[in-house]
Amino acid sequence: MLIMLLISPNFSDLFKPNIEIKAFPDGDLYVRIPEIKQCAGEDVILLHRLYPDQNTSILTLFMLLDTLRRVGARVTLVSPYLPYSRQDKTFLEGEALSAQVLCSMIASFGVRELITLDCHFLKKEGEIEYAGLKIRNISANHALIEHGRSKIGIEEPFEVISPDQGAGYLVSDFGGKTMEKVRGEYEKGDTAYRKIEKLERNFEIAGKNVLIIDDMISTGTTMIKAIENIKSGGAKKVLCAATHGFFMKDSLHRIRTSADIVFTTNSIVNPVSEVDISKLLSSVIPELKK
Ligand code: R5P
């Protein structure tokens, strides 16, 4: 059986692209799949990142999916980071359920399955159906922990810790412990960000090396509070890792200043995206093995 691999230009750091994405002079997107004939009626694996420029990347995705639907292709979508995944619940009346909006729209194009990494709202690995979309959530936790080991050295064992309950599944297989994060109201202003009221730890880490793992680092507030807490508890060395690293504003610098080691996967490319997701993806999609 023929399985077509379609690679978006935003995956070109890992695989050779075969999709054209340009813009018309006025900024409208132009999308073309040159090998569309080979996709007709076939199974297609489409690799397309949805970050950075998430809104444009999402529209690009819809254009790709529509093009494939018109020739009857059966699509498996691979997007390592799923944007809007933090808005799967409402906090204030009248808020959009953005995660549902995005997933149901992807499903409406007939996508058979979305393969993604450490999707924020799923909080576990495996196959799940959400808003009509079949999702296979793969965790980068093993790869991150292995990388942490290679960085700190085998003679320096470490504890793995998650900074909040939602990321607990990332460390539970390794006997890891979880801190408790309590969020408060939205901050004032145009940025929708709910303050972190407290980050509590009810276990000892004095004298130990600690690797803090989260699904994502965005503003860095969670990670910096976690580092401060761990250090004040007398930890020896502090390593920080996340599957998805956005590092908004100067957060990477601030984290680097307070922790000994920081790294992420390259689901989102950033200056410390050291853990290569192509191995992880190839382990579930054999067609990707070069
Ligand atoms: C949220 O609960 C996530 O697991 C992350 O802890 C959070 O999204 C990180 O965001 P920030 O870096 O802005 O604190």
Tell me if residue 37 falls in helix, strand or coil: helix
Q: Hey, which CATH number is domain 141-275, 3.40.50.300, 3.40.50.2020, 3.40.50.720, 3.40.50.10710?
A: 3.40.50.2020
pLDDT at 2: 81
Please give the span between the terminal C-alpha atoms of the chain, in angstroms, as a whole number: 18
Q: pTM of the predicted model, to two decimals? A: 0.97
* pLDDT digits 0-9 by tens, 15-40: 999 999 999 999 999 999 999 999 99
Let me know: does 136 contact 117? Beta carbons within 8 Å.
no
Q: Give the burial class of 13: count Cβ atoms within 10 A of its Cβ; 0-12 exposed, 13-18 middle, 19 or more buried.
A: exposed
* pLDDT digits 0-9 by tens, 240-260: 999 999 999 999 999 999 999
Residue 82 Cα to ligand 1 midpoint, Å, equals 14
* pLDDT digits 0-9 by tens, 174-183: 999 999 999 9
Q: pLDDT band for position 290 (50/70/90)?
A: low
Instruction: Please tell me if the domain spanning 3-138 has the same topology as the one spanning 141-275.
Output: yes
Count CB neighbours of 206 within 10 A: 8
Its CATH class, for the domain covering 3-138, is alpha beta
Tell me if residue 162 falls in helix, strand or coil: strand
Domain ranges of the chain: 3-138, 141-275
| CB of residue 214 inside a 6 A radius of ligand 1 | yes
* pLDDT digits 0-9 by tens, 156-199: 999 999 999 999 999 999 999 999 999 999 999 999 999 999 99
| Cα–Cα distance measured from residue 104 to residue 222, given in angstroms and rounded to the nearest whole number | 29
Residue 62 Cα to ligand 1 midpoint, Å, equals 27
Share of the chain above pLDDT 70, in %: 99
Residue with tokens 């077509």: 4
| Cα–Cα distance measured from residue 4 to residue 1, given in angstroms and rounded to the nearest whole number | 10
| CB of residue 219 inside a 6 A radius of ligand 1 | yes
Which residues is 198 bridged to in the sheet?
Answer: 182
* pLDDT digits 0-9 by tens, 261-274: 999 999 999 999 99
**Residue positions counted in the chain:** 290
